[in-house]
């Protein structure tokens, strides 16, 4: 079974803090993604990566950065947390080829509250 784990289920941070969200997958997937989920807005793509040290901006990258130093790990960084970054953050991974195209495996999510 594919397993995608996220470092925290719940996190509370203060405005202006630097926040690190970690994601690890154990299936040697090439692709990894970070989304945020907000009511009425669905899943919005923040950043994604198709390979180690490679990153691409998604639809809402402002205020975020990412790091992928190893294939299994994809980190999301909030450089200076703001209250409008309070959200559910979901990490996902997928195969680069084979299997169902584009099928993603998601972690359980991190509920981040910025006060």
User: For binding to another protein (CB under 8 A), which residues are involved?
Assistant: 4, 33, 35, 40-45, 48, 58, 90, 92, 100-109
CA triplet 50, 55, 57: central angle to 5 degrees? 115
Contacts of 26 (CB under 8 A, 6+ apart): 2, 3, 4, 5, 72
Q: How far is the CB of 103 from another protein (least distance, A)?
A: 5
Q: What CA–CA distance (Å, rounded) separates 52 from 73?
A: 9
Give least dist CB 50 to another protein, A.
Answer: 11
Residue 98 or 101: which CB sits closer to another protein?
A: 101
Q: Report in angstroms how near the CB of residue 55 gets to another protein at its nearest.
A: 14
């Amino acid at each position: 079974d594919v397993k995608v784990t996220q470092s925290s289920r719940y996190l509370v941070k203060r405005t202006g803090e630097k926040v690190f969200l970690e994601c690890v997958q154990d299936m040697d997937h090439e692709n990894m993604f970070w989304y945020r989920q907000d009511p009425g807005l669905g899943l919005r793509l923040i950043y994604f990566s198709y390979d180690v040290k490679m990153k691409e901006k998604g639809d809402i990258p402002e205020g975020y950065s990412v790091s992928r130093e190893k294939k299994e790990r994809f980190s999301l960084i909030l450089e200076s947390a703001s209250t409008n970054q309070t959200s559910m953050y979901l990490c996902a991974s997928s195969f680069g080829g084979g299997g169902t195209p584009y099928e993603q495996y998601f972690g359980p999510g991190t509920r981040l509250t910025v006060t």
